[in-house]
């Protein structure tokens, strides 16, 4: 089992080509903007970028600016319209392709020992595969019960129905072999996430806007990781270039480290910018990942795979959405899932709605044991997930 897990994690790392591309693009963009900041070129930063009078603010900064000044600022309104259009088109792609926080997270991963990386990858692999096995078993049991019900309707005098999977059979499929576990292990059943329209990030967003209204200036901008990253570059440059030793040299990097290292999962649990993008991206139907059920190993052959869930940086379990911390409203278009899919079942069509509906109508293929709990077409409907 250990050898199988180690091989699986090695295969995943080898296939994540887009991650390498993203890790190259983000530093390049950051370096250009940092150089412009140091040299005094009017390119701005990711908190407010452009060229001289032609510029745009980040969406959170735009809202905070108008709230602080209690006026409708034309540049802020234009920025919001542009950013909303981009988010509707590509969701939270900024988080995966450009955000400096992603680079710091990647650096943290690089600094881990190989043993630590393998251990974390193995734990994720085993958990996701257990979930897949359990859901396949549950789907098989549901299909058996459904077939029995159909026979009973045709033959009203039938006194018995088909027997569902036994506990030992279910345990064999689900990987839940402990004696005290009769309906799925902790990594399966209790891992289901109660998806809500608002989560901890939205409460942080509300606090950021409320503090702005109270104090009259964008308070969160003082601790925004994006702004702190560029501020760190600036204070360090001034320290070495002009000997400008101030408290900011210690305070600014310390705040950045505190947020991204000690507040684990900053992007999915605390970031108010992520929350703001989530409110818009839940309406996005473009470039959203879609699973072809006829190719997916789990729906076409009943083979537990879940490689897509193992590599998702947004904590989305695209195959079994109920088990992920986030839904596709938080998809950052990182494309890790498409890279690692062994059957190339995951694609990012320009418009996902039509293909998703077509896939749902076509079914999952004759060789499938039964539909899994959350087919890809359902994942695109945020409200349906919340009601379920």
Q: In 113-162, which ranges are continuous DSSP H helix? A: 114-154
Helix (H) or strand (E) holding 267: helix 266-269
Residue 18: the pLDDT is: 87
Residue 171: the pLDDT is: 46
Q: How far apart are CA 98 and CA 251, in angstroms?
A: 24
Q: How far apart are CA 217 and CA 68, in angstroms?
A: 5
Confidence of residue 203 (pLDDT cuts 50, 70, 90): very high
What percent of the chain lies above the pLDDT cut of 70?
72
- DSSP assignment of 53-102 equals TEEEE-HHHHHHHHHHHTS--HHHHHHHHHHHHHHHHHTTHHHHHT-HHH
In this structure, what DSSP letter does residue 306 have? -
pLDDT digits (tens, 9 = 90+) for 155-170: 434 333 334 444 544 4
SS3 291: strand
**Could you tell me which of 139, 140, 126, 141 has the C-alpha nearest to residue 187?**
126
At residue 150, does pLDDT exceed 70? Answer: no
Q: How far apart are CA 17 and CA 24, in angstroms?
A: 11
Residue 6: the pLDDT is: 56
Cβ neighbors of 267 (< 8 A, separation 6 or more) are 95, 99, 101, 102, 105, 274, 314
Specify the pairing of strand 54-57 against strand 48-51: antiparallel
Mean pLDDT across the chain: 76
Confidence of residue 235 (pLDDT cuts 50, 70, 90): confident
134 lies in some domain: no
72 lies in some domain: yes
At residue 256, does pLDDT exceed 60? Answer: yes
Mean pLDDT of 300-311: 90
Higher model confidence: residue 351 or residue 2?
351
Mean pLDDT of 280-307: 91
29 lies in some domain: yes
User: In angstroms, what CA-CA distances link 324 with 229, 313, 356?
Assistant: 29, 11, 20
**Could you tell me which of 277, 256, 278 has the C-alpha nearest to residue 325?**
278
At residue 89, does pLDDT exceed 80? Answer: yes
Q: In 16-58, which ranges are continuous DSSP H helix? A: 17-39
pLDDT digits (tens, 9 = 90+) for 21-31: 998 898 898 88
Specify the pairing of strand 290-291 against strand 54-57: unpaired
At residue 379, does pLDDT exceed 70? Answer: no
65 lies in some domain: yes
Tally: H helices and E strands in the chain: 19, 5
Higher model confidence: residue 46 or residue 185?
46
Q: How many domains does the chain have?
A: 1
Residue 156: the pLDDT is: 37
Q: How far apart are CA 109 and CA 16, in angstroms?
A: 15
Residue 197: the pLDDT is: 83
Q: How far apart are CA 255 and CA 251, in angstroms?
A: 6
Mean pLDDT of 321-339: 92
What percent of the chain lies above the pLDDT cut of 90?
27
Higher model confidence: residue 2 or residue 116?
116
SS3 326: strand
At residue 148, does pLDDT exceed 60? Answer: no
- Which range, 74-88, 227-241, 366-380, is most confident? 74-88
Residue 154: the pLDDT is: 37
Mean pLDDT of 372-384: 36
Confidence of residue 374 (pLDDT cuts 50, 70, 90): very low
Domain that holds residue 81: 16-111+215-251
Dig out the tokens for 283 from the structure.
Answer: 């309406």
SS3 40: coil
Helix (H) or strand (E) holding 351: none
Dig out the tokens for 69 from the structure.
Answer: 């000044």
Residue 317: the pLDDT is: 93
Mean pLDDT of 282-311: 91
35 lies in some domain: yes
At residue 84, does pLDDT exceed 60? Answer: yes
320 lies in some domain: no
In this structure, what DSSP letter does residue 245 have? -
pLDDT digits (tens, 9 = 90+) for 90-126: 999 999 999 888 888 887 777 788 888 888 888 888 8
372 lies in some domain: no
In this structure, what DSSP letter does residue 44 have? E
At residue 44, does pLDDT exceed 50? Answer: yes
Q: How far apart are CA 93 and CA 168, in angstroms?
A: 44
**Could you tell me which of 258, 219, 240, 231 has the C-alpha nearest to residue 33?**
231
Dig out the tokens for 234 from the structure.
Answer: 């600036």
37 lies in some domain: yes
Q: How far apart are CA 286 and CA 358, in angstroms?
A: 16
- DSSP assignment of 243-299 equals ----THHHHHHHHHHIIIIISTTHHHHT-HHHHHHHHHHTT--BS--EE-TTT-HHH
Cβ neighbors of 93 (< 8 A, separation 6 or more) are 332, 333
Q: Are 220 and 251 in contact (CB under 8 A)?
A: no
Residue 20: the pLDDT is: 87
């Amino acid at each position: 089992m250990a050898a199988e897990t180690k091989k699986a994690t090695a295969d995943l790392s080898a296939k994540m080509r887009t991650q390498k591309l993203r890790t190259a693009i983000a530093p390049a963009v950051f370096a250009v903007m940092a150089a412009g900041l140091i040299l005094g070129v009017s390119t701005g930063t990711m908190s407010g970028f452009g060229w001289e009078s032609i510029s745009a603010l980040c969406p959170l900064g735009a809202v905070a600016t108008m709230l602080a000044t209690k006026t409708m600022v034309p540049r802020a309104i234009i920025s919001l319209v542009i950013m909303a259009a981009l988010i509707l088109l590509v969701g939270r792609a900024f988080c995966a392709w450009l955000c400096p926080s992603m680079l710091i997270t990647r650096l943290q991963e690089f600094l881990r020992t190989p043993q630590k990386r393998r251990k974390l990858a193995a734990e994720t692999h085993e958990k996701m595969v257990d979930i897949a096995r359990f859901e396949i078993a549950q789907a098989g049991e549901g299909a058996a019960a459904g077939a029995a019900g159909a026979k009973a309707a045709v033959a009203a005098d039938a006194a018995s129905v088909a027997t569902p999977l036994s506990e030992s059979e279910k345990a064999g499929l689900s990987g839940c072999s402990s004696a005290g576990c009769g309906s799925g292990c902790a990594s399966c059943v209790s891992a289901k996430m109660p998806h809500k329209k608002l989560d901890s990030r939205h409460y942080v967003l509300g606090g950021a806007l409320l503090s702005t209204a109270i104090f009259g200036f964008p308070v969160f901008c003082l601790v925004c990781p994006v702004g702190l990253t560029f501020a760190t570059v600036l204070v360090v440059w001034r320290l070495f270039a002009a000997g400008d030793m101030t408290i900011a040299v210690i305070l600014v990097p310390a705040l950045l480290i505190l947020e991204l290292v000690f507040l684990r999962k900053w992007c999915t649990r605390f970031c108010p910018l992520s929350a703001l993008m989530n409110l818009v991206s839940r309406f996005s139907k473009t470039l959203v990942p879609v699973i072809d059920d006829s190719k997916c190993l789990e729906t076409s052959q009943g083979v537990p795979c879940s490689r897509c869930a193992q590599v998702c940086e947004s904590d989305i379990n695209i195959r079994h959405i109920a088990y992920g911390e986030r839904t596709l409203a938080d998809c950052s278009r990182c494309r890790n899932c498409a890279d690692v899919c062994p059957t190339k079942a995951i694609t990012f069509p320009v418009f996902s709605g039509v293909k998703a509906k077509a896939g749902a109508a076509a079914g999952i293929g004759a060789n499938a044991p039964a539909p899994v709990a959350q087919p890809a077409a359902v994942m695109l409907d945020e409200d349906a997930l919340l009601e379920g």
